[in-house]
Amino acid sequence: MSFREILARLCFGWLTVFLGGIAASAAERPDVLFIAIDDLNDWTGCLGGHPQASTPHLDRLVARGTLFANSHCAAPACNPSRAALMSGLRPFASGVYDNGQPYGGPLKDVMTLNRYLMREGYKVVGGGKIYHGGGGLPGENETDWHEYFNRGGDPHPPVKSISGLGMAHFDWGPLDAADEAMGDYRLVSWASEQLQKRHDQPLFLAVGFVKPHLPWYVPRKYFDMFPLETIQLPVVKADDLADVPAAGVKMARPDGDHQAVVTRDQWKHAVQGYLATIKFLDEQIGRLLEAVDASGRGDKLLIVLWSDHGWHLGEKQHWRKFALWEEAARAPLAFIVPGVTRPKTRCDAAVDLMSIYPTLVDLIGLPIPEHVQGPSLRLLLENPQAAWERVGLTTHGRGNHAVRDRHWRYIRYADGSEELYDHRTDPDEWTNLAGQSEHAAVIRRLAAQLPAEEAADAPREKAKPKADRRAKKPRPARAAEKD
C-alpha cells in the first residue's frame, strides 16, 4: 500500500468517525424522563426508611436500573436544592442557600440543564414542580422550556387545621375527594399525553410531583390503608440532642414543631399522614410507569428519579428538612439507562444530587459544561462496585455543611462546632464521636471536602405585608425557611 493510499484510508476513517458522530447527535439521542419528587425521604420500600412505607410502583420503576442508596441533597430545602441540581452550581457557588432567596437573579445567565438540552436540540417540556415555584426563571420561560404545564392546586378540607395545631400547612388528614381532583393526578395525565405524542426532536420530559410535600391531605382511602392504631413511630433516643452542639440544637428547634406535635398528641397522626401521602404519590408513579410502557419508548428512554431532600418526623426532636442529619440529607436517586444499567442494581457509594446534571449529559453524549459541579456517575452506573473516592456534600445556610462517605457523616457548623457519626455501628446517628481523638484523621479527611470559599448570600425576597404581620407575633419568624 502506498503512502498516499494509507493517507487516504486514514482520512476516510476519520471522516467516517466524524460523520458518525454527527449522525449520532440530535435525532439519535435518547429521550429523557426526569422525575422529581418533593420532600420524599427514605420512607420507600427500596430504601427501607420506615417499616410501613409502601411504594410498590416506585420500587418497580427503580428495580429497572440502579438505585443510589447513599445519595444526598446539595441543600436540605426545596429552593436551594433544586436551584443547585438544575444549574450545576452548589449553594456556596450561587449564593442561593435557602428558600427565601429567589434563584432568578443568581441563575440569570447560567446554562441550566433545561437550557443546555434545549440548545442541544431537545424538545424541553416540564410540568409541576421542577424549580421551587414552578418552571424556569420568572418571565423568561420561553428560553427555558418549550412548554410548561401548571398542575393547579389540590383540594382543601373544610376546616383550616385538621390536626388542631393551627400551623398553616404543617397539617394532615383525609380528604373526601377523588384522586382525579389532585394536582399530581393531572400532572401524570399530562405527562402521559407527552409520552404518547410523536416529537420530531429528542424529548426531555420533566415531571415534578408536589407530594408528599405538606399539607398531607390526600383522599381518605390512603389514610384507611394505615390505621392509626397500627402506626409505628420512628425509633428515637430521648436525649439524642445532649451531644449535639448548640448550632445543631438550634436547627432541630425541639421547642417548635416537635413540642407542638407531642403536646397535641399528633405524632402518630403525622406519621400516618406522611405514609398516606407517600402511598398516593406511589399510585401516581404507577400511572406514569403504565404510560411509559404504553408509549413503546422503553428501550430508548433514559429515566432519572430523585427527591429534593429528606424529612425528619421527630428524630432528634426535629421536623421537616432544614438540618444536616441523615434524615434531612438522604434523598432517593435512581437511574434507568438502557444499555448501561442492569435491573435490580444497588449502589452504596456516597453521591449527591449535583451528579444528576453531569451524569445525564454524559450519558446523552454531550460535553459537561465547565461550570457544572459534581462528578458524572457513569462509572458507577457501569460498575456499582467501582472504587469511588467522592462524597455526598450537603450545605444548609452559609458555613454549615455535612459530608457523607460510605461509612461516616461529618457535620461542621459555621461556628466551627462538629458532629461525627459512624454509620457502620450507628445508623441512627445517636452518638456524636467528634470529640474523640482517635477519629481526628477521619475528620481531617472529610473536612478537606468542605469549600475553601463560600459565596455571599444572594438577595432575599422582600417580605410580603402578610409575612410582616406574622413576624410581629411571639412565635419566631422563619421567613427564610418557609416550606
Of 33 and 353, which CB lies nearer to Ca ion in the complex structure?
353
Nearest to 434 by CA among 244, 238, 237: 244
CA 405 to mean position of chain CA atoms: 18
Binding region for Ca ion (CB under 5 A) out of 29-37, 70-78, 113-121, 359-367: 70-78
Cβ-based nearer residue to Ca ion, 115 or 129: 129
Q: Binders of Ca ion among 382-441, rule CB under 5 A?
A: 430
In angstroms, the Cα distances linking 432 to 37, 153, 244 are 31, 42, 7
In 3D space, the residue among 249, 248, 236 whose CA is nearest the CA of residue 313 turns out to be 236
Q: How far is the CB of 240 from Ca ion (least distance, A)?
A: 4
User: In the range 210-239, which residues lie near Ca ion by CB under 5 A?
Assistant: none
Name the segment binding Ca ion (CB under 5 A); options: 38-46, 160-168, 378-386, 392-400: 38-46
What is the pattern of x (binds Ca ion, CB under 5 A) and - over residues 88-117? Answer: ------------------------------
Active site residue 78: yes
Q: What's the CA gap between 4 and 299, in Å, rounded? A: 44
Structure-block grid coordinates of residue 5: 493510499
SS3 assignment, position 173: strand
Q: How far is it, in rounded angstroms, from Cα 53 to Cα 221?
A: 15
Q: Which residue, 214 or 302, has its beta carbon nearer to Ca ion?
A: 214
* CB of 77 vs Ca ion, minimal distance in Å: 7
* Residue whose grid cell is 448550632: 247
CB 128 within 8 A of CB 208: yes
| Residue 151 one-letter amino acid | R
Give yes or no for residue 240 binding Ca ion (CB under 5 A): yes
CB of 242 to Ca ion, least distance (A): 6
According to the binding rule CB under 5 A, does residue 38 interact with Ca ion? yes
Q: CB of residue 307 vs Ca ion: minimum separation in angstroms?
A: 8
Which of 340, 263, 269 minimizes the C-alpha distance to 299?
A: 340
Least separation in angstroms between CB 144 and Ca ion: 20
- Closest-by-Cβ residue to Ca ion is 78
- The site map against Ca ion for 139-178 (x = CB under 5 A) is ----------------------------------------
Q: How far apart are CA 338 and CA 165, in angstroms?
A: 48
Looking at 46, 73, 78, 347, which residue is catalytic?
A: 78
* Nearest-approach distance from CB 431 to Ca ion, in angstroms: 6
Q: Does 326 bind Ca ion (CB under 5 A)?
A: no
- Classify residue 256 by its DSSP letter: I
By CB atoms closer than 10 A (0-12, 13-18, 19+), residue 72 is: buried
Q: Is 419 helix (H, G, I), strand (E, B) or coil?
A: strand
Residue number with CB closer to Ca ion (249 or 430): 430
Q: What is the DSSP letter of 174?
A: E
The stretch near Ca ion (CB under 5 A) out of 71-79, 108-116, 330-338, 357-365 is: 71-79
Of the candidates 29, 37, 39, 408, which one interacts with Ca ion according to CB under 5 A?
A: 39
By CB under 5 A, which span of 59-67, 221-229, 305-313, 322-330 interacts with Ca ion?
Answer: 305-313
Q: Which is nearer to Ca ion, 184 or 308 (CB)?
A: 308
Active site residue 407: no
Among positions 115-134, residues that touch Ca ion (CB under 5 A) are: none
Least distance (Å) between residue 337 CB and Ca ion: 25
Q: Which of 132, 258, 318, 396 is catalytic?
A: 132
Answer for which of 257, 282, 283, 308 binds Ca ion (CB under 5 A) is: 308
Shortest approach of Ca ion to residue 59 CB, angstroms?
Answer: 21
Q: What are phi and psi of 121, to 5 degrees?
A: 100, 5
CB of 225 to Ca ion, least distance (A): 24
Specify the stretch interacting with Ca ion by CB under 5 A; choose among 146-154, 221-229, 306-314, 328-336: 306-314
Enter the C-alpha cell of residue 458: 444572594
| Binder of Ca ion out of 243, 422, 426, 428 (CB under 5 A) | 243
Alpha-carbon distances of 115 from 67, 143, 155, 357, 364, rounded to whole Å: 27, 7, 33, 12, 15
Contacts of 108 (CB under 8 A, 6+ apart): 137
Q: Edge to edge, what strands does the sheet with 147-149 contain? A: 147-149, 123-128, 203-208, 31-37, 301-307, 333-336, 66-68, 345-347
Among the residue ranges 31-39, 59-67, 152-160, 399-407, the one whose residues contact Ca ion (CB under 5 A): 31-39
Which lies closer to Ca ion via its Cβ, residue 267 or residue 421? 421
Q: With respect to Ca ion, which residue has the nearer C-beta, 243 or 348?
A: 243
Contact 365, 29 (CB under 8 A): yes
Q: How far is it, in rounded angstroms, from Cα 112 to Cα 204?
A: 13
Contacts of 480 (CB under 8 A, 6+ apart): 98, 99, 100, 101, 460
Give me the active site residues, please. Answer: 78, 132
Interacting residues with Ca ion (CB under 5 A): 38-39, 78, 240, 243, 308, 430
